[in-house]
Structure 1
Amino acid sequence: MHIIWTILIGLVAGAIAKMILPGKNPGGFIMTVLLGIAGSVAATYLGHFIGWYHAGESAGFIGAVVGAMLLLGIYHLATKNS
């Protein structure tokens, strides 16, 4: 059940990140889900590094959205010249 919940949170977080950040965004539905899931994982590891989360804790919904926005912003910077 945890994997399904992660996918659903990833879908919503990726969709919100795409709505907040303008510009040409990658892929469709699958990419949105992957972006949200990766954003959640990135936010979790960043939170562990900074000390916001302890071992076994994961980033919440807002952290997943911020992580997805961060990854989408990096994508925009990497593909800006192409």
Structure 2
Amino acid sequence: MGFIAFLILGLIAGAIAKAILPGRQGGGWIATLVLGVIGALLGSWIGGAIFNKGTDIFSLTSIATWIFAILGSLIVLAIYGFVTRKSSRA
């Protein structure tokens, strides 16, 4: 998969993950892109581990690529939200 296509996949997967996850997440489109790309990497790694195949088999037109990229982005976004949330203790 090309680098630009991977960035587009990450941006879209990150935006979908932000739409799915309840609550208010900070960050603009750059944060969404970064979290989405990290999530897509995580998702492709998880998909490769589950199906026991290399991560290079995933293409941009495959539904599995999109599903695992969105799932990975949800995981990364949840971790990001947990780390950056303000504590209610004073």
TM-score (norm 1): 0.82
Q: After superposition, what is the alpha-carbon deviation per residue over 1:42-80, rounded to whole angstroms, capped at 9, x for unaligned?
A: 011112223x25122236011111110111112223334
Distance in 1, matches of 2:85 and 2:5, equals 33
Given that 1:44 and 1:53 are in contact with CA atoms closer than 8 Å, whether structure 2 keeps it comes out as no
Q: Check if 1:54 corresponds to 2:59.
A: no
| Letter of the 1:9 counterpart | L
Which range moves more in the overlay, 22-31 or 35-44? 22-31
Give the unaligned 5+ runs of structure 1: none
Q: How many residues align?
A: 81
Give the unaligned 5+ runs of structure 2: 59-63
Change (3 A) 1:9 1:23: same
Given that 2:14 and 2:32 are in contact with CA atoms closer than 8 Å, whether structure 1 keeps it comes out as yes
Q: 1:75 aligns with which of 77, 80, 88?
A: 80
Distance in 2, matches of 1:24 and 1:53, equals 36
Q: What is the Cα-based RMSD across aligned positions, in Å?
A: 1.9
Distance in 2, matches of 1:42 and 1:10, equals 11
TM-score (norm 2): 0.76
Runs ≥4 residues deviating over 3 A: none
Which range moves more in the overlay, 3-12 or 71-80? 71-80
